Amino acid sequence: MRQIVFRPYEKDRNDAKDIREVQIFSKLSGRYIPITEVVENFGIVLENAKLRRYNRALAILTQADPAPGVDGNELFLQIRPKVEAIDLPDGYTLEWRGEYGDSKDASAGLASTLPFGFGAMIVVVFLLFNAVRQPLIIFLIVPLAAIGVVFGLIAMDTPMEFMATLGVLSLTGMLIKNAVVLIDQTDNDIADGKPRMSAVIDAAVSRMRPVALGVLTTVLGVIPLLWDPFFRSLAVVIICGLSFATILTLIVAPALYAIFFRIRNDEVEDLPDLTKPVEASASQV
């Protein structure tokens, strides 16, 4: 005895009792015959047309889209405590998916590879200067971005989500680049014989314009993302964090350089006294 499973035409499956009137084609007779001529009995069993599974376990999916103009994150924060307060029967569990779940999974994956990225940046900076004090100054400046990031997220009422984490990583690379440019210019000026305090001051002044213009172009490039719900947090982190940290970098980096290398205030170039008349020879005139 062999079990045969088939699906009748749509017009024949509107009512379960119509199954006895289904016509099937017989190759022996070359015509359609009633299904009752070849089937002994019928067993009608109700079952779910579609069983949803998640990780091979039966799951009930409840989903909804926020109304136009409603922030999804704010709505999630409002309904989450109410949903989690529901008493679940034995054997049932609750798990949040959607945007929150995807962001959580992405953050977990990013956290597993994050040490390799930071380790590579540290190695590159140490190899670039072939020293210890300059890289230490650079990595002491990077945390300054947290001040601008926190202020920007609070002021713009934006959550610290996955895209904001990506923005922090991008921001770290930008700040390291700015600090490298500033400290490398200071080292070059000192190597050329300029007094150390004068080199620190002149490097900060000369690098201010390129660093500021680079930051300005980056900020202007991400401003349109402020109106994108997906990239909003990334834009806030880069705009606020980069702007605030760059200003502090131009102030803190020279100060740390002078502290680490024990540079005194009197290590400056001898400037001419403009209050005294300058004597010029006939040949110079």
Query: Do 201 and 182 touch, CB atoms closer than 8 A?
Result: no
Contacts 24+ apart (CB under 8 A), 247-251: 248/141, 248/144, 248/147, 249/141, 249/144, 249/175, 249/178, 249/179, 249/182, 249/211, 250/182, 250/204, 250/207, 250/208, 250/211
pTM: predicted TM-score of the whole model, two decimal places: 0.60
| Least trusted range by pLDDT, from 2-11, 122-131, 216-225 | 2-11
With 80 as the cut, is the pLDDT of residue 226 above it? yes
Residue 214 pLDDT exceeds 50: yes
Judged against a pLDDT cut of 50, whether residue 237 lies above it is answered with: yes
Model pLDDT, residue 283: 44
Residues 155 and 150: their CA atoms lie apart, in Å, by 8
Position 285 scores a pLDDT of 40
pLDDT > 70: what percent of the chain?
Answer: 87
| 274: pLDDT strictly greater than 70 | no
Distance CA 249, CA 253 (A): 5
pLDDT of residue 282: 43
Q: Does the pLDDT of residue 280 top 60, yes or no? A: no
Among 70-79, 125-134, 258-267, the least confident range? 70-79
Token reading at 215? 């930051």
When mean pLDDT is compared across 86-90, 151-155, 195-199, 277-281, the lowest value belongs to 277-281
CATH 1.20.1640.10: which residues of the chain? Answer: 102-260
d(CA 166, CA 195): 41
Per-residue b/e over 222-254, b at no fewer than 16 CB within 10 Å?
Answer: beebeeeeebbbbbbbbbbbbbbbbeebbebbb
What's the CATH code, domain 102-260? Answer: 1.20.1640.10
Mean pLDDT comparison of 7-16, 44-53, 71-80, 145-154, highest-scoring range: 145-154
pLDDT of residue 2: 64
Task: Tell which residue, 239, 125, 265, 118, has the closest CA to residue 183.
Answer: 125
